[in-house]
Structure 1
Amino acid sequence: MTIQYTRLGRTGLKVSRLALGTMNFGPQTDEADSFAILDRALELGINFIDTANVYGWKLGEGATEQIVGRWLAQGGGRRENIVLATKVYGRMGEGPNDQRLSAYHIRRAVEDSLRRLRTDRIDLYQMHHIDRDTPWEEIWQAFEILVRQGKVLYVGSSNFAGWQLAHAQGVATARHFLGLVSEQSLYNLAERTVELEVIPAAKALGIGIIPWSPLARGALAGGVSSGRRGSEETRNLVEKHRGRIERYERFSAELGEKPADLALAWLLQNPAVTAPIIGPRTSEQLDGSLRALEIKLTPEILDALDDIWPGPGGEAPEAYAW
């Protein structure tokens, strides 16, 4: 199986069509297994590794970043062969400035992430959420300094609305700064709201879409047929969409594909999508995800999926007006 690569948004940077998410590293996957998954990803050619300073979910510790950092510290070309992405915004301490996107917090957060990750640069530094209290002039000035210092190469966003992408990019352009190159959004067959405004804005601005939770927290990975219980959030999603999930699993079986692979393949066929973030808990799950790169979806299959999982009706304003 040959990994496919694509450009990250409008940049010249090539990343794998699947991004390895590390959110499970620490809380659900121990360090030894995390290292094995990272090594296997590198062996397969997956070069896009995504983490965040808050992952590990212990206030201020950055436990997942530390695991990734210890993996990188082993050398062997690990750092040179990956595109390393992390995030800033979440609360990292008890102080009033230990969160969000003030220049004060960004400066401290990037130094802390570099130390935990044991690296001299972050390839893609993503704002984990919009900060309505901090002006874009302040945010962009902070990032411009980091780019000049070589501590950050590219800047991305996560959980932004379409108009926020446009506003942020407009300010960046006025400052002669590259600005946003990616947006990490909740996007899967069951959650298609971003098709209204976020994806059209991203396409127009040359911002690559990086879907998180591409399997709807596991609900699209055999949530009914496999009998998987998962988290309470996953169980609630399965109950909410049980009828559709049952139809979807039957349709997947008719195609001879696993529901999870079909869900990833559906995202990959969208030209706006750079790389869905997969979160395997084992190396075997990682290997299984590669099947999605081989699945070809015909117009008939796409129509059938739209019938099971109807989106918002297309892009705004035609989705609700004319």
Structure 2
Amino acid sequence: MPRSPLQLLDGLLDEHGMESAAHRFVLGGPFGAEPAGTTAERLARFADAGGLLVETSHSYAGGRAEAAVGRWLRGSPGTLGVATKVGHDTTGGDVPLSRDTVFGHVRSALENLGVEAIDVLLYHCDDPTRSVAELADTLVGLVEAGHVHRVGVSNWRAGRLRELAGELGARGHTPVASYQFSLAEPDPALLEGSLHADDTVLDVVRGHRLPLLGWSSQARGYFARGGPKDHHGRPDPYDTADNRARRLRCTELAGRLGVRPETVALAWTLHHPGVWPSIGPRTTAQLDGSLEARRVTLTGEQVRWLRHGR
């Protein structure tokens, strides 16, 4: 009997592997800020191509993103799992992660999405005024209430993530981690408060065998263009000397493989077990282009060379 998307998702998160009928790409995008038909077309194409998980947030698109995804999910129940994040208001600002606030946001997310339970629920930020134990208790309470299946965090410092993994592990849960992850390592001063999965974070992820949702896996299109691009009037956080060298190596290898440089860069993320790269195409053509990365096989030597140049 075929397994449901949720069963496949749980299996992949637990096993850190891939199955032939599914893939680890996570679909993000401007849900709620684009026509409903565009959203529907892209979600359907993603599901047909073996996608399992769509990613959004209670705060995206001024609070409209979850409802936009929910409109499609109601018409295609059980087709895709959904990950959403709570802890930001509709302007993107942090809110206190009290139990009442978090439960209120989750209940609203359930209504917006039109689902009985959220597949993956993440804290969008940390709340350093609260103990990790308290925040872990709230996450476990959401699971026990039947509101969510899996829990985790985004943009937590490595030390707090390690403590959370211990707290949740003692309660029988393995948290999902969410950080920026791509071949291009951004300048942290230009990431606007978000965190990259640096070596300190990856040490925790690997040590506790945490699934990693890697957002901006395509580095905002860095490998598809020849120069820097401003982001909301700020300098490109990916335009560094190291990343320019990585882009040249991608271009060289892409020429040998007969694919595009950005395809090689995205394939690089898939060659890290346990990483679920998040992609944000705005059209089905862009989605199809991203999915081409599944067909690129890299050797361990090539994976190291692309990153380190040796």
Closer/same/farther in 2, CA of residues 195 and 230 from structure 1, 3 Å limit: closer
> What's 1:83 paired with?
81
Closer/same/farther in 2, CA of residues 238 and 254 from structure 1, 3 Å limit: farther
Which amino acid is 1:197 matched to?
T
Structure 1 counterpart of 2:215, from 212, 215, 232? 212
CA distance in 1, matches of 2:267, 2:17: 24
> What's 1:26 paired with?
32
3-state SS, counterpart of residue 276 of structure 1: strand
Closer/same/farther in 2, CA of residues 246 and 93 from structure 1, 3 Å limit: closer
CA distance in 2, matches of 1:232, 1:249: 27
Deviates more, 1:82-91 or 1:236-245: 236-245
- How far off is 1:252 after superposition? 2.4
Deviates more, 1:250-259 or 1:143-152: 250-259
CA distance in 1, matches of 2:86, 2:280: 20
> What's 1:314 paired with?
none
Structure 1 counterpart of 2:138, from 139, 142, 148? 142
Closer/same/farther in 2, CA of residues 237 and 179 from structure 1, 3 Å limit: closer
Closer/same/farther in 2, CA of residues 34 and 290 from structure 1, 3 Å limit: same
CA distance in 2, matches of 1:165, 1:277: 20
> What's 2:99 paired with?
103
> Cα RMSD (Å) of the superposition?
3.0
3-state SS, counterpart of residue 8 of structure 1: helix
- Identical counterparts, % of pairs: 29
Q: Unpaired segments of 5 or more residues in structure 1? A: 311-322
Deviates more, 1:194-203 or 1:35-44: 194-203
> What's 1:16 paired with?
23
3-state SS, counterpart of residue 87 of structure 1: strand
> What's 1:202 paired with?
205
CA distance in 2, matches of 1:159, 1:47: 23
Q: Is the Cα–Cα contact under 8 Å of residues 146 and 152 in structure 1 kept in the other structure?
A: yes
> What's 2:191 paired with?
none
- How far off is 1:253 after superposition? 2.6
CA distance in 1, matches of 2:261, 2:96: 37
Q: Is the Cα–Cα contact under 8 Å of residues 129 and 157 in structure 1 kept in the other structure?
A: yes
CA distance in 2, matches of 1:64, 1:285: 20
3-state SS, counterpart of residue 259 of structure 2: coil
Q: What pairs up with 1:252-291 in 2 under 5 angstroms?
A: 252-273=254-275, 275-291=276-292
- How far off is 1:304 after superposition? 3.0
Which amino acid is 1:147 matched to?
V
3-state SS, counterpart of residue 277 of structure 1: strand
**Structure with more helix by fraction:** 2
CA distance in 2, matches of 1:166, 1:232: 33
Q: Is the Cα–Cα contact under 8 Å of residues 230 and 236 in structure 2 kept in the other structure?
A: no
> What's 1:317 paired with?
none
CA distance in 2, matches of 1:249, 1:197: 29
Deviation digits for residues 155-186 of structure 1 (CA, Å, limit 9, x no counterpart): 01111232222101222234x24151x11111
> What's 1:42 paired with?
47
Deviation digits for residues 79-103 of structure 1 (CA, Å, limit 9, x no counterpart): 3122211001112489x9x823211
Closer/same/farther in 2, CA of residues 64 and 13 from structure 1, 3 Å limit: farther
CA distance in 2, matches of 1:41, 1:80: 14
3-state SS, counterpart of residue 157 of structure 1: strand
Given the two structures, how large is their TM-score scaled by the length of structure 2? Answer: 0.82
Given the two structures, how large is their TM-score scaled by the length of structure 1? Answer: 0.79
